[in-house]
Amino acid sequence: SNASNLASGTVPTARLGSGTADATTFLRGDQSWASAGGDNTPAFSAYVGSDQSLSHDTSATLACTEEYFDTDNAFNNTASGNAYSFTVPSGEGGKYFIHAVAYMSAGNSQSNATQVALQINGTSLSYQVIDNSNNYGDKYSNSITEILDLSAGDYVQVNVYGTTASSGAFTILGNQGSNKHYSWFMGYKLIGV
């Protein structure tokens, strides 16, 4: 570049830094071109489509059969393989925000305790418990939120469990029509951490 080019503002962008300069990039302080921002993907949001039955004193995977979205096709909404799980895609390890809700109804069986847990690769990591201590109730909405450090290939599932006074079954409420979803599982990758 010569002095007249500098004065007229016509310095070629290729001389300013390395990388590709275009309408979606900016020049960093280290003289490299980079994309602005980022997105929180992979991301998914799934819900229980039909009521799920859960026997007394038994645990099961929350059966999220329907999806709002799944950016990387990484959520398994079937009972096969790692049932109803999110698997971290190749090259997408990092910190993930994960949230789940299980709306559990014992009806006349009188709920004694309900629990929801996040599992990584089949092992429970964190729990949220509602223990009624014999003050029996009917419906409880258990929710759990966690930031998980996940590697490519790790899979995350939601485990539900409950006991009742009469050994009766629970119903985990699913879609009740008109987009009323009572039980769900969602998450996304965090950026900048």
Q: How confident is the model at residue 152 (pLDDT cuts 50, 70, 90)?
A: very high
Q: Is the peptide bond before 42 cis (omega within 30 degrees of 0)?
A: yes
pLDDT at 100: 97
Instruction: Output the average pLDDT for the chain.
Output: 87
Rounded Cα gap, residues 100 and 77, in angstroms = 15
pLDDT in tens, 13-59: 556 666 667 777 777 778 777 777 778 999 999 999 999 999 999 99
Rounded Cα gap, residues 2 and 171, in angstroms = 76
Closest CA to 151 of 191, 95, 97, 100: 95
Rounded Cα gap, residues 185 and 86, in angstroms = 9
Closest CA to 104 of 151, 144, 45: 144
Q: Does residue 61 contact residue 161 with C-beta atoms inside 8 Å?
A: no
Give me the amino acid identity at 90: S
